[in-house]
Every structure is written in structure tokens, then in C-alpha cells.
Amino acid sequence: MSSKPRDKRTSIEDVVASLEDGMTIGIGGWGPRRKPMALIRAIRNSDLKDLTIVSWGGADVGLLARAGKIRKLVYAFVSLDSVPLEPNFQKARQEKSIPEIVEIDEGMFQTGLLAASQRMPFLPMRAGLGSDVLVNNPDIKTVASPYPDADGEFEKFTAVPALRLDVALIHMNRADQHGNASYLGPDPYFDDLFAMAADRVFVTTEQIVDTAGLTVDTPVQRVLINRIMVDGVVETPNGAHFTTCTPDYERDEKFQKAYAAAAKDDESWAAFEARFLNGDEAAYQSAVQEFHAQEENK
């Protein structure tokens, strides 16, 4: 018997095959940053349907919304940053094609993941009080403090419900085959919280390295994800494209522009899908290379 922890390496296809219709899927990263886009593209091309998506939304939400995969969306914003409004998300909202919409405050989103990660049904906070977040989500309740404040008042807070996930999908700069994983950019985002809020966790990564390699050239504090949280690891170089994966690569602004422009009408979207999205990940990556070669020659 091996003296090492188990090898969790798997493939994009096997991860997607293990997902089921109606699941609640949390997607790590933030807006147009370090998104597990290779998995998103594969889900888009799968038969999966009626998904609940929980995301600090970027093109992950846009792609899945345009493909009609989302039955329920939980978000605080959806943005591509340099393109402020995500056109596919906008279209879905304005055409009411996502049946259930849960728009909450950003801090509530974090608190909901935190509650789930702590196996609490809710956690209290102030965010939401007085805003239409509580009007548009009437199932979110408030809770009174059992302790008086300095003036003897019993304050009332938002009881943020846990955002429990069936599956979390995250993309990290480096991982080992056992599921330990590190981010090398400036921001961890909330990927560890997504992982701990989920029953199952899949990590895609730029590069699988030996465990010793995780800390050979970077502080141990960057190893955000521990293998106790992880079920499967997939090596997907450039797998966060066209979002950032700092410092391995920055956002592909040219491609993002092309994406946003294509989303504006059905005909150009169909052409964009045919050129980039309808094949597998290898086909996508080579189509992106070709796109840049053509851009250079312009």
C-alpha cells in the first residue's frame, strides 16, 4: 500500500459526467478573475440542466445563462470589469429567461458561504436591512439579538441563510495530485469558502506539481486549499482563459471584447459559439491561438 495520500487527478470530462441535473454549483474566482472556465465551457456543452449557480459572476454566469443552463442564480453582481455589464447576463435578465433570481449584497454572499462552511443554517449581519434585497427575497428573514446593545436596545439583523453547495468548482495556479492548491496572485478571493461550503470540490489548475513544489518559491500562506476539502484535481493550462490567472496570465482583453461584441445579437453569437465553444477544451485553446494570430496580422 502506498504511504502517500490518494491521487485525485481526473479529467474535465469525468468531472462533468459526475454532475447531475438540478445541482447547486458554486463557482470560485471573482467576476472576470480566476474562473474555472474550462469546466464552465464543458458544462455549457453538456446535457446538464436546471442548475442553481452561486457565483461572484463574470463570463461564467454569462455563458451558462446564454446556454439556458441556469434555473436559479445567486449573485451580488455580474461584471467583466473592463466591460462593466455582462451582456449575456443582461440579456437573460431582461428576457426573464432565468426562472429564479436571488440578488444579494456582496457581504451577505460571503456570510452565506461562511455559514455553509461552518455548517450553520444562517449567520447574522447588518447588510440587507432597509434595502430591496430583503424585499426581493422575502424568504430571507431577520433575527433579533438576544443581547441588548449599550442603550438597552435589542438590534435586529439579517439572518443570512447558508449557501450550501452540492459542488464547488475552483481554479488555482498550482496544485498537487492530492488536492492541495495555491494561488499566486494578490487575492485568494473566496475559493476556500466555496470549497468548505460544498459537498464535493473539483480544482482545476494551471499546473500540477509535487507537494514540495507548492512552497518551493512562494510562502506557505498561499496554499489556500487543503486536500481535506478536495475530491478531484484537473490540470488545465490556460484553463481560466479569458479571465485572469495572475501571475500566470492576465485577462485576455481582446478576446473578452470579441466575446462581448458577439453576445449582442443572435447571429454573431452563433458564429462565436461555432468558432470557439462547440468543441472540447483543446479545440477552444487552439481556436483562441488562431484568433490571436489573426489579430496580430490585422
Partner 1 sequence: MNDATRAEVCAAAIADAFKDDGEIFGSPMGMLPMLGVRLAKLTSNPDLVISDGEALFLGGVPPLFAKGDVIEGWIPFRRVFDVIAYGRRHVMMGATQVDKHGNQNISAIGDFAQPKRQLLGSRGAPGNTVNNRTSYWVPKHSDRVFVEHVDIVSGVGPKRAKEAGIGASKYNDIHRIVSNLAVFDVKGADDTVRLLSVHPGVTVDEVRANTGFELAIEGDVPETRLPTLEELTIIREVLDPKKLRDREVPPVQAAAS
3-state secondary structure of 39: helix
| Residue (79 or 177) nearer to partner 1, CB | 79
| Residue (48 or 133) nearer to partner 1, CB | 133
Name the nearest CA neighbour of 40 among 194, 171, 200, 227: 171
Compute the least distance from the CB of residue 178 to partner 1, in Å. Answer: 25
Binding site for partner 1 (CB under 8 A): 30, 57, 75-79, 84-85, 89-90, 93-96, 101, 103-108, 110, 125-133, 135-136, 145, 149, 151, 153, 155-157, 186-190, 193
Rounded Cα–Cα distance for residues 179 and 229 (Å) = 8
Compute the least distance from the CB of residue 127 to partner 1, in Å. Answer: 3
Compute the least distance from the CB of residue 142 to partner 1, in Å. Answer: 8
Question: Residue 101: what are its φ and ψ, rounded to 5°?
Answer: -120, 125
Under 8 Å between Cβ of 167 and 116:
no
| Residue (157 or 255) nearer to partner 1, CB | 157
Find the length of the chain: 298
| Residue (101 or 288) nearer to partner 1, CB | 101
Rounded Cα–Cα distance for residues 96 and 79 (Å) = 18
Name the nearest CA neighbour of 234 among 40, 11, 29, 42: 11
Rounded Cα–Cα distance for residues 64 and 50 (Å) = 11
Name the nearest CA neighbour of 195 among 34, 29, 82, 9: 29
Under 8 Å between Cβ of 201 and 235:
no
| Residue (11 or 90) nearer to partner 1, CB | 90
Compute the least distance from the CB of residue 89 to partner 1, in Å. Answer: 7
Compute the least distance from the CB of residue 88 to partner 1, in Å. Answer: 11
Biggest CA pair distance of the chain: 71
| Residue (78 or 203) nearer to partner 1, CB | 78
Compute the least distance from the CB of residue 248 to partner 1, in Å. Answer: 16
